[in-house]
Amino acid sequence: QQQVKQSPQSLIVQKGGIPIINCAYENTAFDYFPWYQQFPGKGPALLIAIRPDVSEKKEGRFTISFNKSAKQFSLHIMDSQPGDSATYFCAATYNNNDMRFGAGTRLTVKP
């Protein structure tokens, strides 16, 4: 049973759109919430991460929104580009050794 539930499974947006990917978790001991980006045939790479003591974090066009009371967090991609087309995974951990990943969202940004 997955401890981190991610939605949607796939997402298609037009260039310039703002795709939003949502994740929910159960374990309140989690204290680190990263997002990984994976291109076909490659390993995942860290995109952005947040700790539960802040509600939002921005890095360039990528923003994480975090709602501790609802046990939810989401990734927003501003001004999306075709080069952002990839699979995105949310994750959560409390000791950084037992990382629990969501099932992934395949994002397609159409030109």
Partner 1 sequence: NAGVTQTPKFRVLKTGQSMTLLCAQDMNHEYMYWYRQDPGMGLRLIHYSVGEGTTAKGEVPDGYNVSRLKKQNFLLGLESAAPSQTSVYFCASRYRGRYEQFFGPGTRLTVL
Shortest Å, Cβ 14 to partner 1: 26
Sequence-separated contacts (24+) of 56-65 with Cβ below 8 Å:
62/35, 64/33, 64/35
Shortest Å, Cβ 93 to partner 1: 8
**Binding flags for partner 1, 1-20, as an x/- string (CB under 8 A):** -x-x-x--x-----------
Q: Which listed range, 14-22, 59-67, 69-77, 94-102, lies at the site for partner 1 (CB under 8 A)?
A: 94-102
User: Can you read off the two tokens belonging to residue 36?
Assistant: 């990984």
Interface pick for partner 1 out of 12, 18, 29, 46 (rule CB under 8 A): 46
Instruction: Give the C-alpha separation, 69 to 110, whole Å.
Output: 35
Interface pick for partner 1 out of 30, 35, 44, 73 (rule CB under 8 A): 44
Number of H helices, E strands in the chain: 0, 11
| Dihedral sign (CA 73, 107, 60, 39) | positive
The answer to the question of residue 74 lying near partner 1 (CB under 8 A) is: no
